Structure 1
Amino acid sequence: MNLTERLQTSLSEIARERDPYMATAGHFFVQEYIRQQFSQWGSVEIHTFEVRGKACNNLILNLPSQGRGQKKDLPPILIGAHYDGVPGTPGADDNATGVAVLLELARKFAAQAVRYPLRLVAFDMEEYGLLGSADYAALLHEQKQQLRLMISLEMLGYTDSTPGSQSYPPPLERFYPDTGDFIALIGNLRILPDLIGMSRNIGKAGVSSQWLPVPNRGLIVPQTRLSDHAPFWDLGYPAMMVTDTAFLRNPHYHKASDAIATLDLDFLTRVCEGLEIAIRSL
């Protein structure tokens, strides 16, 4: 299978109703699918946290760095994507695309390590207020665990090449293109060099990308905080979101129509290839 076919296979497993309360069977099915995929590359750690008496699970795969053992002090790069969905939607773009790319990056980096250790995390309960990532970020902070970078994969597969298809919170529309055919990298100010470098490297896979550094934990543009990177920003970690900009472009956001048929699989494939190149270059 080529990359596009592998992504399509993952999407067909993940894109289904999977709200943790209203679609428990779908939610459990997807959780098990991720666990099985991760377990091909190493032992899967489960980080359990509680939400109003309900046990919820983040699934974690740790991959060693290239120089196993020589540079033990290198902090890991954490790559995350949430696997829960909202009721009434198969959530193909939100966020089956992010999870499919997460699984593919696990495959690539298990076969050929990068400079830094990697921690791949499938987060639960993002749609209920970033609860899985908030709990996990707090745990890492408590353990004084440093991160080289946290990357949240949040909706990666929807494009619209019609002029005017891309909207923005004001005044960003003055500075960015109005056509929704790029991938966006949104990070805190301290990772400005990473934003520029990753944007350039993603371009090598033939994807156009735009980058946006945000001050003050993104509080002045709340739309920049709507994914699992935000709890990491709040605790002072270097973190970014990679996104097709969600509802600022995709009319199917949180609707029954967020189906695989609406996705641009060629774009998703190139985003995946670009992210691999960019993460290898860090």
Structure 2
Amino acid sequence: MIRRIAFAAGSLLVLTGCGEASPTPETSPTTTATAPATASRPSPTPSGTQAAPPLTPEQFRVETATDAVRHLAGEIGPRPGTSPAYRRAAAWVEGQLTGFGWQVHRQRFQTPAGVSWGIPVSAGESVNLVADRGDVRPGQPWLLVGAHLDTVPQAPGAEDNASGVAVLLAIAETAAGRSTRVPVRLVVFGSEEPRGETDDDHHYGSRAYVASLTPLERRSLAGMVSLDRVGVGEAVPACGARPGLDRTLASLRAAARRAKVPTTGCSRTPNRSSDHWSFVRAGLPGVRLGSTPYAAYHSPADTPDVVDPAQLVRTGRIMLAWLA
């Protein structure tokens, strides 16, 4: 059964157990639910000070995630990748990331016109938000966590995909001042939703991002996870595009076991219907968390009450265990 988000204080439940041309990045100016999460907000560790404390799954703050779902799907609503609503959403997410202490760059790219889930959409510019803590170094291993911010035209996009962006923001808050096993980059992708029927008619933002990576960045990328539809269900779907051959998927499932979070496979295998596929088709390691089917998919009914806070926590705890 889908639980509904309660945004009043004290009502949130958490777990106890548990090829386009390469664009140039532009610097922006700017399992059981029982008790509420109470992890404190970290502060980024300044360079030259004592080592940052370690990251643990229990530090995930569900309040940060549910606030993001409410704002993106409840206040902004439908946000196709080239729309004014998308630009408002991107500006808000960028403000959240910079507020948590991350360095954010805007990567602009063009998206063609098309038909998105039965509705014509116009061509235009969209943007990825690329955030890091200043510790990603050329040639050194690094990890990437991504989530798409856009929606189809008719959907407020709570589950698809405010839920993924919400978990990414809660990860950003927790990891800003804590150590991870290797440096981490967060990318909020634009224009993921389809504008046609072929494999090249969606995932525009992640394809633009992959095209911008240098050969050295590609060789040193240790793994990428796309958070896409991660707020429905009682187990977290974990899936890849290369079944049986994906070490990143194996490491993600191992992290879920450490975090005591149940996982399941995806309804479609191999799974190529999220931004991880842009990485895999370029020969890079990419997997997906999320994809539980739900009745409100790509419809006006995809509102914040569809999203279960406990599932956001499950997903967030897997990711923190994977990054730690």
TM over 0.5: yes
Q: Would the aligned equivalents of 2:236 and 2:311 in 1 still touch at CA under 8 Å?
A: no
* 1:44 aligned residue: 104
Q: Which amino acid aligns with 1:186?
A: C
Q: 2:248 aligns with which of 177, 185, 194?
A: 194
1:143 deviates by 6.4
Residue 70 (structure 2) pairs with residue 12 (structure 1): yes
CA deviation vs aligned residue, 1:128-148 (integer Å, no higher than 9, x gap): 300000111112156653311
Deviations 1:77-111 (A, max 9, x none): 11110000111111100000000011111112211
SS in 2 for 1:112: coil
Name the Cα RMSD after superposition.
2.3
1:275 is the counterpart of 2:322: no
- Does 2:189 match 1:134? no
Task: Report the Cα offset of residue 75 of structure 1.
Answer: 2.3
The alpha-carbon distance between structure 1 residues 119 and 10, as it changes in their structure 2 partners (threshold 3 A), is same
Of 287, 291, 305 in structure 2, the residue corresponding to residue 240 of structure 1 is: 287
2:117 match: none
* Maintained 8 Å contact 2:154/2:300: yes
Contact in 1 for aligned 2:218/2:284 (Cα 8 Å): no
| Distance of 1:144 and 1:12 partners within structure 2 | 35
Cα distance in 2, alignment partners of residues 263 and 114 from structure 1: 28
Relative to 1, partners in 2 of residues 1:108 and 1:74: Cα closer, same or farther, differing over 3 Å? same
C-alpha contact (below 8 Å) 2:102/2:133 kept by paired residues? yes
Residue among 99, 116, 131 paired with 1:61: 131
- Asked whether the 8 Å contact 1:123–1:132 carries over to 2, the reply is yes
Structure-2 residue corresponding to 1:173 = none
Q: CA deviation at 1:152?
A: 0.6
- The CA distance in 2 between the partners of 1:74 and 1:31, in whole Å, is 29
Distance 1:240 1:266, change over 3 A: same
Q: Could you tell me whether the CA contact under 8 Å between 1:49 and 1:132 is conserved in 2?
A: yes
Match in the other structure for 1:163: none
Q: What residue ranges of structure 1 are gaps of 5+ in the alignment?
A: 160-180, 213-220
Per-residue CA deviation, residues 145-178 of structure 1 (Å, 9 max, x unaligned), is 331111111110112xxxxxxxxxxxxxxxxxxx
Matched, 1:155 2:229: yes
**Aligned-partner SS, 1:148:** strand
TM-score normalized by structure 1? Answer: 0.78
1:183 matched to 2:236: yes
Q: Residue type of the partner of 1:226?
A: S
| 1:169 aligned residue | none
User: CA 1:144–1:276 in 2, change beyond 3 Å: closer, same or farther?
Assistant: closer
Match for residue 35 of structure 1?
94
For residue 61 of structure 1, give the secondary structure of its aligned residue in structure 2: strand
Q: Distance in 2 between matches of 1:201 and 1:144?
A: 24
TM-score by length of 2: 0.68
| Aligned partner of residue 145 in structure 1, secondary structure | helix
Report the AA paired with residue 210 of structure 1. Answer: T
Tell me the matched-pair count: 242
Is contact 2:139-2:216 (8 Å) kept? no
Of all paired residues, the percent bearing the same amino acid is: 27
1:167 equivalent in structure 2: none
2:156 pairs with one of 82, 90, 96: 90
Instruction: Work out which of the residue numbers 302, 305, 315 in structure 2 matches 1:258.
Output: 302
What is the aligned partner in structure 1 of residue 17 from structure 2?
none
**Alignment correspondent of 1:170:** none
| SS of equivalent residue, structure 2 residue 322 | helix
The higher-RCO structure (CA 8 Å, 6+ apart) is 2
Conserved? CA contact 1:78–1:121, under 8 Å: yes
User: 1:196-245 CA deviation, whole Å, 9 max, x = no partner?
Assistant: 33213223444210257xxxxxxxx67611000111111100110111x2
